[in-house]
Amino acid sequence: MTRTLSTPPAMASGSLSGAPQPVLTDDDGLLLRPWERADAAAFLSAYQDDETRRWHPNRPTSEAQVEEWFAAYRQDWEREKGCHFAVARDDGEVLGRMALRGLDFDDGVAIAAYWVLPAARGAGVATRALAVLSAWALDDVGFYRLELDHSTRNHASCRVATKAGYRLEGTKRNAAVHDDGRHDMHLHARVRGDR
């Protein structure tokens, strides 16, 4: 079905796919870069961690499957469906994952998602990486609104979102299934102009 907008799209198609996926940095040597084949073991190890598994019910089970995910991530970029980044130190060590998915160019909205490996937790890595991703998406790419949600039981993710400038907007009741059943989800958002 074809639909016609009564208003122009918030963002033009080609805003992302017209160029290679960038490498984003912060002032302290943190990199957000495209996933590489050599990252498969580190990526898989995240999903072997109990805390990551608790909050992320979709998970790979082998390095071969991780490589399939990486290929899908590259296709997401090319099709302007998502932006998936490895969070790494400048020496290449993978610390976590940042992503934008559900890219809506008509309304200028995207959904942020993330996790951090156990060794990198508690050092502000997730907050710094989310701030870098958000500044790029809002200021450089041109999104107007970024959303993220997390289980109301995931207090660490709530702190990350709040510290990165995502305001808590409400609770989505019974909105997601985790291994232990249905969870209410907090909805956070950051809009262009928020600081």
Question: In the structure, what pLDDT confidence band is assigned to residue 158 with cuts at 50, 70 and 90?
Answer: very high
Question: Using an 8 Å Cβ cutoff, are 135 and 25 in contact?
Answer: no
Q: What average pLDDT score do residues 136-145 get? A: 96
pLDDT at res. 17: 87
Torsion of CA 70, 140, 121, 62, to 10 degrees: 0
Q: What span, in angstroms and rounded, lies between the C-alpha atoms of 105 and 144? A: 10
Q: What span, in angstroms and rounded, lies between the C-alpha atoms of 2 and 172? A: 30
Cα of first residue to Cα of last residue in the chain, in angstroms, is 39
- Amino acid in position 74: R
pLDDT at res. 97: 98
Q: What span, in angstroms and rounded, lies between the C-alpha atoms of 97 and 93? A: 12
Question: Using an 8 Å Cβ cutoff, are 86 and 74 in contact?
Answer: no
Task: Check pLDDT > 70 for residue 1.
Answer: no
pLDDT tens digits, 50-105: 999 899 989 999 999 999 999 999 999 999 999 999 999 988 999 999 999 999 99
- Strand segments, DSSP code E, in the chain are 24-25, 30-33, 82-89, 94-104, 109-116, 145-151, 167-178, 181-191
pLDDT at res. 41: 97
Task: Check pLDDT > 80 for residue 2.
Answer: no
Per the prediction, the chain carries an average pLDDT of 94
Q: What average pLDDT score do residues 33-55 get? A: 95
Percent of the chain with pLDDT over 90: 87
Q: What span, in angstroms and rounded, lies between the C-alpha atoms of 137 and 190? A: 11
DSSP code, position 11: S
